Structure 1
């Protein structure tokens, strides 16, 4: 048996119409992260932060999973050993494609977090500075359950343990510049895993044993089909 860890980044959702963060049309080219993606930004201007994430929540709800998302859900369903799907994305498209379990290391747009007591809860629709925490009753402290710059990503112990035991590590649609995710290939390679990069353009990281380039909707289904030794659209 072979245990697989898959890491996905913004590039896998680009074909679903969601902008990547660091490309030519990237999210951070149109807004300063210091204004919307730090705890300090939320403390200074919660309305601005909520407006930014409310718009992203609407965009994500309108987007549809693409062939790459579907292929990874298929891999989870058909692979005979463990497949841990870790994503830096907050859009929920992996679940909507049928993925059984996803580790959201950077949080989720469809969840809210109380800045006061830390309680998390599912969330539908827009958020505002007037929202009240249902756990502690604090008004005005509900924020998107998103890991902001300077905060620790979720479930790192689980991810690192899986990387240390993986036989195959696959990074899909990631820039390879944001840590700690950029260091996952180092952990996996040091543990003896085969490492593969699937990306629109190569990152140039020498720790990947194999690099395939192209649109995620084409190269991910083909890669998964090769692992399963079946046609990309087969049963």
Structure 2
């Protein structure tokens, strides 16, 4: 594990943060893709982000999977391969150490599916993987079969998926007119959710831009600055599967259906147990939350985008760690902090009063 050069942080701001950290008994962290950028993984909305070159409707929705499961599996095979090549960085390890030192008062809510936090040794009981894990699989027939599999690191999962051997490879062409259509029931559900979120600001005169935003390619929704250099990303790869059902991972239980990645796609709800565990952190009858860390996320995807505000209502001060200061939402200048830069460089410095110098906890991570 390499440790990036610590950034220049305002001493007064750092001292104020350290004072709160040392007194905090309950801490919540909300993670986005930016924390894994130093590990070489692309973010979603950056210049070279995953959503810049791929239509989210085709590769990350239930409708897209029904429309062309081979295309979706090509996309996720690429992501699995990249995640397997990546290594946890200092930010992952620092949070894992914080979890051990503050247990059980520290919980991480991660939107990432790259498995880097578990690989860094983050205690499972204090890590909620909101959107699932790339290396967990499940049968598409959830009711009739219900097969699930955790920790499948085989790469590729089938010979037919061993098609992307070079990041600069171009595979076919996506027809922009041949794409799955949004389900009206799904749109109605999104409208209800946005009405709950926006309250009086919500306009219910037909499907609005707000209603449809979760279904658009994220490049059309907004930008998130790229965090760190990496090889040519997925946006340089044009996918066209041409794969049949027999080419894809088969369910070993029912032997009648294919498997899908056990991740949460756009338009899907979080797993019920995960959602309940996350919401329980902010329940009215729980102890106050003193500190909330918002790391590497543009805070555009719900429900994770609302967790910082829930923590704030529980008394928390918010620390945003991101390459883009604009990702700090609802900032209170006299209460909250924004630390701009690479999370892998910033977090070890921020957490040092509790986790100690990196040399003290790096030894266990190198073994």
Q: Distance in 2 between matches of 1:233 and 1:215?
A: 19
Q: Distance in 2 between matches of 1:194 and 1:232?
A: 25
Q: Distance in 2 between matches of 1:26 and 1:83?
A: 30
User: 1:121 — aligned with what?
Assistant: 149
> Which one has more relative contact order, counting CA pairs under 8 Å at least 6 apart?
2
Report the alpha carbon displacement of residue 41 of structure 1 after superposing the two structures with TM.
0.6
User: 1:220 — aligned with what?
Assistant: 347
Q: Deviations over 1:28-55 (max 9, x none)?
A: 0010101100001111101111011001
Q: Distance in 2 between matches of 1:79 and 1:18?
A: 28
Structure with higher strand content: 1
Please show how residues 1-235 of structure 1 align to structure 2 within 5 Å. 2-101=25-124, 102-117=127-142, 118-122=146-150, 123-125=152-154, 126-127=156-157, 129-130=245-246, 131-139=249-257, 141-154=258-271, 155-164=274-283, 165=286, 166-202=289-325, 203-207=327-331, 209-226=336-353, 228=354, 230-234=356-360
Q: Distance in 1 between matches of 2:309 and 2:118?
A: 27
Structure with higher helix content: 2
Report the alpha carbon displacement of residue 81 of structure 1 after superposing the two structures with TM.
4.1
Q: Distance in 2 between matches of 1:97 and 1:204?
A: 26
User: What TM-score comes out, normalization by structure 2 length?
Assistant: 0.60
Report the alpha carbon displacement of residue 163 of structure 1 after superposing the two structures with TM.
3.3
- Verify the 8 A CA contact 1:189 1:207 in the aligned structure 2: no
Q: Deviations over 1:48-90 (max 9, x none)?
A: 1101100110000000011101101111111254211111111
- Verify the 8 A CA contact 2:111 2:131 in the aligned structure 1: yes
Q: Distance in 1 between matches of 2:355 and 2:277?
A: 29
Report the alpha carbon displacement of residue 207 of structure 1 after superposing the two structures with TM.
4.3
Name stretches of at least 5 consecutive residues in structure 2 with no aligned partner. Answer: 1-23, 159-244, 362-367
**Count of equivalent residues:** 233
Q: Distance in 2 between matches of 1:43 and 1:80?
A: 42
**CA 1:223/1:48 → structure 2, altered by over 3 Å: closer, same or farther?**
same
Q: Deviations over 1:192-218 (max 9, x none)?
A: 122211111221412462211111111
More displaced, 161-170 or 92-101?
A: 161-170
Larger radius of gyration: 2
Structure 1 vs Structure 2 CA RMSD: 1.8
Q: Deviations over 1:174-230 (max 9, x none)?
A: 01111111111111111212221111122141246221111111111111113x173
Aligned to 2:265, what secondary structure does the other structure show? coil
User: What TM-score comes out, normalization by structure 1 length?
Assistant: 0.92
Report the alpha carbon displacement of residue 233 of structure 1 after superposing the two structures with TM.
3.3
